Amino acid sequence: MGIIEKMKEIEEEMARTQKNKATEYHLGTLKAKLAKYRAQLLEPTSKSSGGGTGFDVQKSGDARVALIGFPSVGKSTLLSKCTHTQSEAAAYEFTTLTAIPGVIEYQGARIQLLDLPGIVEGASEGRGRGRQVVSTAKTADLILVMLDATKSDEQRRLLEIELDAVGIRLNKRRPDVVFKRKTTGGITLNMTVKLTKTDEKTIRSILASYKLHNCDVMVREDITTDEFIDVLIGTRKYMPCLYVFNKVDSISLEQVDKLAHQDHTVVISCELGLNLDYLISRIWDNLGLVKVYTKKRGDHPDLNDPVCLRRGATIEDVCIHIHRSLVPNFRYALVWGKSSKFNPHAQKVGLNHQLQDEDVVSIFTK
């Protein structure tokens, strides 16, 4: 029996089993088995992979955004409208057969936008080059899920299932659970909160199914069985996501208003170029980038070429971004802007000083 058949068998058994307090333990064990089989399915069967075109697109710019969706929802048209790259668009499905990169230039930042081939139901099991699509999506900093506004909500649910099956968690944060392996001493399980969605017996059974008999586990929030399995596997990717509904020019204003008020949602029309500027500003907000301007001694700040970094970046990150040799030779830095204690005047700071958006930095070396 192959892995896919075993997975279907477990899924059927889970569907047959009623969810209540008495079956929690059994369902937890089944979920752990299913997660193990999914991990096996995603791992390459051999070291050498022959034939086929891979999606080996070099990461460039300050951030990467991946476009994911079913065929013919407007991904290629969006790429062509937002960037200077022309991606083939046509009225038939599967026009795009490989990953096509483009660059969005916004507020001095260069954001790489990847147009990925349309995925089909069963992509997580390898159908329609699905594994390559989702593996490339894992390298992105933000996922744009493109949806057709003229179709039902089922398309969104199916895409979420496919991404969830390959370990991509959309708009979620990592569960607050500390897990450490050890060589002896058995299992030490500590919980700082009352568990209402799972129990200690289920957690111990999951640990046993992964052959983990010596480890320390500290649970700091009320987690589910699935979230605990995610922590054990450790390869889950927690990613921000925007749901982009295209073709809103083909539906009523009431439907547009309803879609626009959903969480993490943007409504656009690629054909008419509606709301594309707002979409780019939402992409910027979700990426959580900050712009830092550099200043040479005696000169004005260079406002045309900012250094774009992640929110919470420090002076050390700026030094590494400019040149690695700056860190060992660093003396001090002067900072003007929101993060300066003496704003609008400069503050003398060290490598660990956290920067804010539109700060001006002047670095002094030995």
- 263 in the same domain as 142: yes
Looking at the fold, whether 131 and 67 belong to one and the same domain comes out as yes
Say if residue 317's pLDDT is above 80: yes
Is residue 36 in a domain?
A: no
Same domain, 257 and 302: no
Domain hosting residue 194, numbered range: 176-222
Looking at the structure, tell me whether residues 195 and 132 fall in a common domain: no
Q: What residue type is 289 in one-letter code?
A: L
For residue 8, being part of any structural domain is answered with no
Q: Is the residue at 94 inside a domain?
A: yes
Ramachandran quadrant class, 122 (left: phi over 0; alpha: psi -120 to 50; beta: rest) = left
Is the predicted pLDDT of residue 362 greater than 60, yes or no? Answer: yes
The single-letter code of the amino acid at 107 is Q
Residue 29's pLDDT band, with cuts at 50, 70 and 90, is confident
**Same domain? 162 vs 251:** yes
Instruction: Examine the domain organization and report whether 256 and 150 are in the same domain.
Output: yes
Residues 328, 200 share a domain: no
Same domain, yes or no, for 216 and 322? no
Share of the chain above pLDDT 90, in %: 48
Query: Is residue 103 a contact partner of residue 111, using CB atoms and an 8 Å limit?
Result: yes
The CATH number of the domain holding residue 164 is: 3.40.50.300
**Of 123, 115, 137, 132, the residue nearest 52 (C-alpha):** 132
For range 321-328, the mean pLDDT = 90
Q: Residue 125's pLDDT is what?
A: 64
Q: 290 pairs with which residues across the strands?
A: 309
Give me the pLDDT at residue 246, please.
94
Q: What is the pLDDT of residue 88?
A: 63
Dihedral (CA of 167, 168, 171, 175) sign: positive
What is residue 112's three-state secondary structure?
strand
Nearest to 83 by CA among 210, 270, 221, 292: 270
Tell me: do 266 and 336 sit in the same domain. no
Q: How many CB atoms within 10 Å of residue 216?
A: 15
d(CA 262, CA 91): 29
Together in a domain, 167 and 203: no
Do 102 and 156 fall within a single domain? yes
